[in-house]
Amino acid sequence: MTLPAVAPASAPGTGAAAGSGSGDRLALADDLLGLLRTTSTESRPDEQLEALALAVAADLPVLLRGEPGIGKTAALTQLAASLDLPLTTVIASVHEPSDFSGLPIVGDDPAVQGVPMAPPQWAVELVRAGRGLLFLDELSTAPPAVQAALLRVVLERKVGALRLPPGVRIVAAANPRASAADGWELSPPLANRFVHLNWTHDQDVVVRGLGGVWPRAELPRLSQERLPESVALARHVVCGFLEVRPTLTHRLPDSETRRGGAWPSPRSWEAALTLLAFGTAAAVSREVLALLVRGAVGDGPGLELLAHLDRMDLPDPESLLADPAAAELPARGDLRQAALEGVVAAVGARPERQRWEAAWAVLLRASETGPSDLLVAPAKALAAVRRDDWEVPEALERLAGVVGLARRADRSVDRAAAAGNATGNRR
C-alpha cells in the first residue's frame, strides 16, 4: 500500500505565510460554495407546492410523505423563505416525550401553586416571534410515546403550559416505514390530525432547480367576493355527501399501514370542508383540490366527494327542458352524459308528451355542440319512454342515425350472446 506523501515541516519564519495561503484557499472555497448555493425562484405551476401552500394558509397541519432525498426539507425551507416565516426544525425522533409535554418545575408551594410544565426553548422562541413555521421532521422514526406527546402540539398547539400563537403553522415530514431508520407507522390519532400529501419529484422541477431556478411557493389568492359563497358551497357539498354516504362519516381502516395515513372521521371531514372552502375561494385547479381532499379523508372517500361535487355542478334537468335551444351542457364527456341521463330521468319521472319532445330537443342540441357517441344510451332510454299516441318529433328524426346505431349495437350484442350460448350447449 502506498502511503500519502507528507509535506515537509515549514522552515522557521515561514508559518505565517503558509497559514495565510491556506486561509485564502478556504475563502475561495467558501466563495465557490456561495455561488453554488445562490439560486432564484420563479412563478410556475407546481401542484404539490400549491397544495402545500393552501393547506398552510388554511392553518391545517400538513404531513409530507416521501422517500428520503426527495426534497421535502428543501420545499419547507423554500416555503418559509417565500412566506417570510422563521423556520423552526424539530427532529421528532431525537426528542423525549417531555420535550413536547413539558418538564415539571417544582415551585415554592406545589400544593397551592401546582407544578407547571416548562416548555422547551424552541417553543418559547416561537411564542416570542409570534409567527413561524414549525417543521416536525422524521416523524415516522418517532416512537409511540413521542407520537402520543405530539398529539396536543399538533391539534391544540400546546407545548407544556405554553400555547403557540395563531401565527405559527405546523408541517411535518415522514418517510415510508420501509425507508425510515427504525421506522414506525403513525398512530391513528396522530395520523388523523394531518392532511397527508404524498411528495414526489418532478423531473422538470429538479432539472430546472439544479440549474438555479426553483418554483416559488406562494399563498393562494383568495377572492373577497367569493368567501361567503365558498363557505356555503363547502358546507353544502360535505353535508350533502355524508347524508347519502353515512357510513363514511367515520371509518377506521383495518390495516396498520392505512391507519397511519388519511382516513375519514368527523375531524378529517372538517379539514376537507375547510380545504374545499379555501380551494373554491382561491379558484385552484381540480388536481390541487383532489390532492388536498384525498389527503384529508383518504383516496376512496375523497374521490367520492369530488364526484359528488361534479354532480352538483350539473345543470338542472328542468332548466334544460324549459329551453332546449339554449341548453348549456358540460364540456367534459362524463359530466355531459350524466346531464343527459338526468334529463331522461326527469322525463321518466313525469312522462308528458311536451316534456318528452323537449328532451329530444336537448339531445339534438347536444349532438350539435359535442360528440354524438354520448347520445346512444340516453336516446335509447328516452325512446323507451314514448307512449303509443305520441307522434315522432322532428328532433328524433334528425337523430335517427344515433338511435339506429343503438339498435344495431343491441342486435350485435344479442347475436354474440346467442352464439356464445350455442357454443356452450354444444360443449
pLDDT per position as a tens digit, 122-164: 888 899 999 999 999 888 888 888 888 888 888 888 888 789 9
Q: Identify whether residues 324 and 274 lie together within a single domain.
A: no
Domain check: are 170 and 123 in the same one? yes
Residue 271, all three cell numbers = 379539514
Q: If 0-12 CB within 10 Å is exposed, 13-18 middle and 19+ buried, where does residue 97 land?
A: middle
Domain boundary among 272, 292, 312: 312
Which of these, 217, 174, 218, lies nearest to 70 by C-alpha position?
A: 174
Q: Are residues 161 and 280 in the same domain?
A: no
370 and 255 in a single domain? The answer is no
- Same-domain status, 176 and 76: yes
Collapsing DSSP to helix, strand or coil, 217 comes out as: coil
Could you tell me if 136 and 195 are in contact, meaning their C-beta atoms sit under 8 angstroms apart? no
Are both 189 and 228 inside the same structural domain?
no
| 23 in any annotated domain | no
Residue 8 lies in a domain: no
Choosing from 267, 282, 312, the residue where a domain stops is 312
Can you give the CATH number for the domain in which 48 is found?
A: 3.40.50.300
Residue 154 contacts residue 191 (beta carbons within 8 Å): no
Amino acid identity at 187? S
State whether 61 and 152 are in the same domain: yes
Number of domains in the chain: 3
State whether 54 and 187 are in the same domain: yes
Is 233 domain-assigned? yes
Q: Confidence band (pLDDT; 50, 70, 90) for 404?
A: low
In a domain, 9, yes or no: no
Answer yes or no: is pLDDT of 238 > 90. Answer: yes
386 versus 182: which is more confidently predicted? 386
Residue 420, pLDDT score = 47
Q: Which of 251, 281, 312 is the last residue of a domain?
A: 312
pLDDT of 111: 59
Does residue 171 lie within any of the structural domains?
A: yes
Establish if 151 belongs to a structural domain: yes
Mark whether 302 and 339 lie in a shared domain.
Answer: no
Question: Are residues 50 and 181 both part of a single domain?
Answer: yes
**Domain membership flag for residue 352:** yes
Whether 146 maps to a domain, the answer reads yes
Look up the pTM and report it.
0.71
Containing domain of residue 170, as a range? 43-103+117-202
